Structure 1
Amino acid sequence: MKKTISVLIPAYNEQAVLAALFERLDALTASVKGYYFEFLFVNDGSRDETLEIIKRYAKTNRRVSYINLSRNFGKEIAMIAGIDHVQGDALVIIDADLQDPPELIPDMIKLWEQGYDDVYARRKSRDGETWLKKKTSQWYYKLLQSSTTIPIQIDTGDFRLLDRRCIDALKQFRESQRNTKAMFSWIGYKKKEIFYDRDPRIAGETKWNYRKLINLAIDGITSFTTAPLRIASVFGLIVSCLAFCYVLYLVIRPLFGVPTGAGYSSLMAVILFMGGVQMIFLGIIGEYIGRIFNETKQRPLYLIEEYHQAHDKKQ
């Protein structure tokens, strides 16, 4: 019996690239024999013609399923919406902008058939990205790896193939502040990397700016490790010990005839420094408390306006 490969494609304002994406997906199904394919598009509240173009594609291709979310929830939520609905024995997550080549999927399938549960694509090069974006990505992965004991896949995005048991594991993660890249590492299972050169977007504009990337990084750190809280505690203990030693010094030195002196400037410098440190640590604590607050509301992760399932996954 043939196995089914589901290809999950989150899409937000991607009308400019969809025609080229459809062409390469059709070429994929024509070249890979012995498998059924399901193409599951998740329209994440697009404001352009993305949904209408996908609907037209679904009318001509019975392999196509699509989910239209009620609004823009963000890529992380769009991915879990797709993961909740995929039908395949394995799942491939790929962006609609074609920076990740669909032509790599057959190689992923071969490694999956060899027994690997998570075949993730690792970037050898990242064309079309600025030097600053590449360096900040490296720094983020190093920071995340240094703050946890769980191995982190470096230079790796969402482009990967996941076995059904990985899919079922990810469906159990229901937190609203999500970082799926960290979850891929957390679930474990048998992993295998495959290298590729990441292409620039063929059309359209990236949806990621530095503000969104910083938010994603903060979500990854706060949802994956409590190291920032531990660092704050250790730093607070060190500062308290130094302050206590300084107080002893101020008390003892007059006994040896050394005047204390006014010290207004140094006193203000210490007060301002400690005030800044306290505000930073309060902000760290606030990030964790805010996430606790969001999770206790237990709101649904997403709402679906329209769902179309492929008519015949065995086409």
Structure 2
Amino acid sequence: MAKLISVVVPMFNEEAVLDGFFARIVPVLDGITERFGLNWEIVAVDDGSRDTTADRLKEIAAANPAVTVVLLARNFGKEAAMTAGLEHARGDAVIPIDVDLQDPPEVMDEFVQRWFNGAEMVVGIRLDRSADTPVKRTTSRLFYQLFNLLCRPGIPENAGDFRLMDRVVVDAVLRLRETNRFMKGLFAWVGFKTEYVEFVREKRSAGSSTWSYMRLLRFAIDGITGFSTVPLRMWSWLGFTIAILSFVYGVYFVVKALIIGDPVAGFPTLVAVILFLSGMQMIGLGVMGEYVGRLYMEAKQRPVYIAREVIRSRAETSASSDPDRT
């Protein structure tokens, strides 16, 4: 029996790019089918879009039985939408890809070739990101460097979600149960035999990104706190350092008072030190709060997402709101 390739596509308010995406990716998948003797499916996950994305996906699924549509009950976020896609994908290999076509579908041919040659995960590396703004390129580079400095295992710089994963990798990722999911970190954490394919990132085909810089910052914080306790340990190191400096400073004043006396002075310095230490304490409490907040959310054991409806073919439309879905 021919192997099945599943393409997972999370979407949120993407009505402007839907037709162009399917017009481009279907011929690519048909070509892969002819070359490698595979079958394919597309698992499109609508993450609570407020435009006509969901309605358009239903029309596409009605016209193409190889398209599965998962409609989430509300906007749960891209990581949750991708998790939903992975759970509904039935393929022997799964390829997540963004609908905006910045990751060219034609690269999937090389992914599949590497998979046939024995790779269990094939990661796309963005060789040229000139299609992104200078600010986004800079902040992205800084994030990868910071993440790899603080977290183990690290993630390759300029690696996104665009990759091929063998079924054994997908099953391993789905066994990771945390609610706050940073998928690139989870993909790296499970390991397996990995190869890399470089490609040039293209401009967005239509529409505009819904990712603001504040959302990207929140995403970066979630990624680092989800895979490293170094930020917590840093405050222990900082406290130890300040304690030593305070002791040395205290000895200095005792010796000074014994030798030359102790005139009343230094009020501005005292205020500056107090404000500095108070600010450091507040930052430390904020870092601890991030971790406590993650523990709080994980302790609730809520599902990562809830699917309102799953459409698998022209003849099969089933409602799904499984509270145990993760």
Question: What residue in structure 1 maps to residue 291 of structure 2?
Answer: 288
Q: TM-score, normalised by structure 2?
A: 0.93
Question: What residue in structure 2 maps to residue 212 of structure 1?
Answer: 215
What SS does the aligned partner of 1:98 have? Answer: coil
In structure 1, give the amino acid aligned to 2:207: G
Give 1:268 shift: 0.3
Question: What residue in structure 2 maps to residue 231 of structure 1?
Answer: 234
Give 1:207 shift: 1.2
Question: What residue in structure 2 maps to residue 192 of structure 1?
Answer: 195
In structure 1, give the amino acid aligned to 2:49: S
Question: What residue in structure 1 maps to residue 30 of structure 2?
Answer: 30
Question: What residue in structure 2 maps to residue 144 of structure 1?
Answer: 147
Question: What residue in structure 2 maps to residue 247 of structure 1?
Answer: 250
Q: Does 1:46 align with 2:49?
A: yes
Question: What residue in structure 1 maps to residue 179 of structure 2?
Answer: 176
Give 1:311 shift: 6.4
Give 1:179 shift: 0.6
Question: What residue in structure 2 maps to residue 12 of structure 1?
Answer: 12
Runs (4 or more) in structure 1 with deviation over 3 Å come to none
What SS does the aligned partner of 2:204 have? Answer: coil
User: Any residues of structure 2 matched to 1:63-142 within 5 Å, and which?
Assistant: 63-142=66-145
State whether residues 122 and 165 of structure 2, in contact with CA within 8 Å, keep that contact through their aligned partners in structure 1: yes
Percent identical: 42
State whether residues 151 and 224 of structure 2, in contact with CA within 8 Å, keep that contact through their aligned partners in structure 1: no
Please list the CA deviations of residues 252-290 of structure 1 after superposition, one character each: whole Å capped at 9, or x if unmatched.
221112435321000000001111111111100000000
In structure 2, give the amino acid aligned to 1:292: L
What SS does the aligned partner of 1:143 have? Answer: helix
What SS does the aligned partner of 1:307 have? Answer: strand
In structure 1, give the amino acid aligned to 2:8: L
In structure 2, give the amino acid aligned to 1:39: I
Gaps of 5+ in 2: 316-326
Structure 2 Cα separation of the partners of residues 261 and 150 of structure 1 = 54
Query: Which stretch of the first structure deviates more once superposed, 240-249 or 93-102?
Result: 240-249
State whether residues 157 and 181 of structure 1, in contact with CA within 8 Å, keep that contact through their aligned partners in structure 2: yes
What SS does the aligned partner of 2:175 have? Answer: coil
In structure 2, give the amino acid aligned to 1:168: D
In structure 1, give the amino acid aligned to 2:211: W
Please list the CA deviations of residues 180-222 of structure 1 after superposition, one character each: whole Å capped at 9, or x if unmatched.
0111111111111100000111110101110010011000100
Question: What residue in structure 1 maps to residue 259 of structure 2?
Answer: 256
What SS does the aligned partner of 2:41 have? Answer: strand
Structure 2 Cα separation of the partners of residues 293 and 229 of structure 1 = 17
Give 1:227 shift: 0.6
State whether residues 28 and 103 of structure 1, in contact with CA within 8 Å, keep that contact through their aligned partners in structure 2: yes
Query: Which stretch of the first structure deviates more once superposed, 77-86 or 303-312?
Result: 303-312
In structure 1, give the amino acid aligned to 2:95: V
Aligned length: 312
Structure 1 Cα separation of the partners of residues 158 and 75 of structure 2 = 27
Query: Which stretch of the first structure deviates more once superposed, 283-292 or 120-129?
Result: 120-129
Pick from 152, 156, 171: which aligns with 1:153?
A: 156
Please list the CA deviations of residues 216-248 of structure 1 after superposition, one character each: whole Å capped at 9, or x if unmatched.
100010000001011111011000110111112
Structure 1 Cα separation of the partners of residues 253 and 200 of structure 2 = 62
State whether residues 65 and 312 of structure 2, in contact with CA within 8 Å, keep that contact through their aligned partners in structure 1: no
In structure 2, give the amino acid aligned to 1:125: D
Structure 2 Cα separation of the partners of residues 174 and 301 of structure 1 = 9
Q: What is the Cα-based RMSD across aligned positions, in Å?
A: 1.2
- Structure 1 155/260 Cα, relative in aligned 2: closer, same or farther at 3 Å? farther
Structure 1 Cα separation of the partners of residues 108 and 303 of structure 2 = 32
Question: What residue in structure 2 maps to residue 62 of structure 1?
Answer: 65
Structure 2 Cα separation of the partners of residues 24 and 193 of structure 1 = 23
Structure 2 Cα separation of the partners of residues 257 and 230 of structure 1 = 41
Structure 2 Cα separation of the partners of residues 244 and 114 of structure 1 = 63
What SS does the aligned partner of 2:295 have? Answer: helix
Please list the CA deviations of residues 108-156 of structure 1 after superposition, one character each: whole Å capped at 9, or x if unmatched.
0000111111101100111332111111111111111111342321101
